[in-house]
Amino acid sequence: MNITQKRIRKLAGMFLLLVLLTGMVSVPCTAAEETSEDVIIVIPDEGTDGTIDQPASFRAEAVKNGIRLSWQEVSGAQKYEIFRKICGADGGYELIKTTKKCTFNDKTAAYGVSYYYKARAVSELEKKTNKSLFCKKVRGCTYHIDPSKPMVALTFDDGPSQYTSGILDTLEKYESRATFFEVGNRINQYPDTVLRISGMGCEIGNHSYDHALLGNASASKIHSEISRTDARIKAITGEKTQLLRPPYGSIGSSLRKNAGKPMILWSIDTLDWKSRNADTVYRAVINQVKDGDIILMHDIYSSTRTAVTRIVPELKKRGYQLVTVSELAQYRNVKLTAGGRYSQMRPQND
Ligand SMILES: [Zn+2]
């Protein structure tokens, strides 16, 4: 058997393994999901020598017109190669894009189809090409939001905590998303949770570093509280936050001037911190909910986690689409501006 035959056999073996693995795992169609598999390579990989790092924090997120991929910049890379395959389909990964950027919007992803994506970094120096190993594959699928139908944004403050992953389980089960306004000094205790929130296409917002009262704080205090939190989140997800939820809902002229981000309040306050009772929290949402609401909860109570297991399916049953705050703004054509204050986004003909 010559080298080429050996290579073909090796590739065929790897390919069979991939087909078996993908066939064994049946996962519901969520916005994005990171898997632990990261070694199966079915693409001929000439030049791959691993001397350049593979892209880290690779993620897929459903956006309005397709699937958006993003990753952290690799030092020494001149470009990145993006590969795709349809989940569960025969055949290997195909190269769909070569880009110099650290993001790629896959507009050719078809509605309702799930894809696996991988990327590798490429360095070209003095006519020598080095390619990194492939990053962990991620799964992404498009979602469809009907702008004419009701939608609400569930928001969770003060986490991450031990209860956040239970809330994510419910959101994942019902193909829903939410926004998590996180406190900076808690983030390093739950890096996996933070990465999962981001990987699911949920949104992470800023809730200050140590839950500080910021309304009339000094400019330097405000900047420090916001930037330290952003730095911790970016170290994990690769992305800065776009939204601020001021602790205690405190907004003063100083914060308006110095926030540098849109300030998101709420239209339904579940008072979950007060009742610590799942039934009370459930009723607070279901008895008041209207199209365009932003709903305040806290992912630091087991009672809230339990309430969410009932709230999400009931809202879905009533025809509500559960979106992030930024998505709600996007679909309601609300332009979010730094220092602006938002507590709901009703349909425009209201
Ligand atoms: Zn808070």
**Contact present, 246 and 268 (Cβ < 8 Å):** no
- Between CA 276 and CA 288 the distance in angstroms is 19
CA distances from 262 to 24, 91, 243, 291, 295 (A): 44, 45, 5, 21, 17
**From the CA of 45, how far away is ligand 1's center (Å)?**
49
Catalytic residue list contains 223: no
Q: What are phi and psi of 64, to 5 degrees?
A: -55, -40
**How many CA within 13 A on the CB side of residue 51?**
9
CATH 2.60.40.10 location in the chain: 28-141
Kindly tell me the burial class for residue 180, based on how many C-beta atoms sit within 10 Å of its own C-beta (0-12, 13-18, 19 or more): buried
CATH topology of domain 28-141: Immunoglobulin-like (2.60.40)
pLDDT for 26: 28
**Selected catalytic residue, list 158, 293, 298, 299:** 298
**From the CA of 288, how far away is ligand 1's center (Å)?**
22
pLDDT for 11: 53
Catalytic residue list contains 157: yes
CATH 3.20.20.370 location in the chain: 151-342
- Between CA 119 and CA 81 the distance in angstroms is 6
**Selected catalytic residue, list 53, 106, 157, 293:** 157
pLDDT in tens, the chain (350 residues): 454 455 555 555 554 444 444 333 223 334 444 444 443 444 444 445 567 899 998 998 877 678 999 999 999 999 999 999 998 888 889 999 999 999 999 988 876 678 999 999 999 887 788 899 898 888 887 777 788 899 999 999 999 999 999 999 999 888 899 999 999 999 999 999 998 898 778 999 999 999 999 999 999 999 999 999 999 999 998 889 999 999 999 999 999 999 999 999 999 999 999 999 999 999 999 999 999 999 999 999 999 999 999 999 999 999 999 999 999 998 899 999 999 999 999 998 65
pTM strictly above 0.85: no
pLDDT for 49: 59
**From the CA of 211, how far away is ligand 1's center (Å)?**
6
Name the DSSP letter for residue 293.
B
pLDDT for 35: 45
**From the CA of 99, how far away is ligand 1's center (Å)?**
40
**Contact present, 135 and 119 (Cβ < 8 Å):** yes
| Gap between the terminal Cα atoms of the chain | 73
pLDDT for 7: 55
pLDDT for 6: 52
**From the CA of 125, how far away is ligand 1's center (Å)?**
50
pLDDT for 1: 44
Q: What is 151-342's CATH number?
A: 3.20.20.370
**From the CA of 159, how far away is ligand 1's center (Å)?**
9
pLDDT for 237: 87
**From the CA of 202, how far away is ligand 1's center (Å)?**
18
Residue 325's closest CA among 185, 203, 167? 203
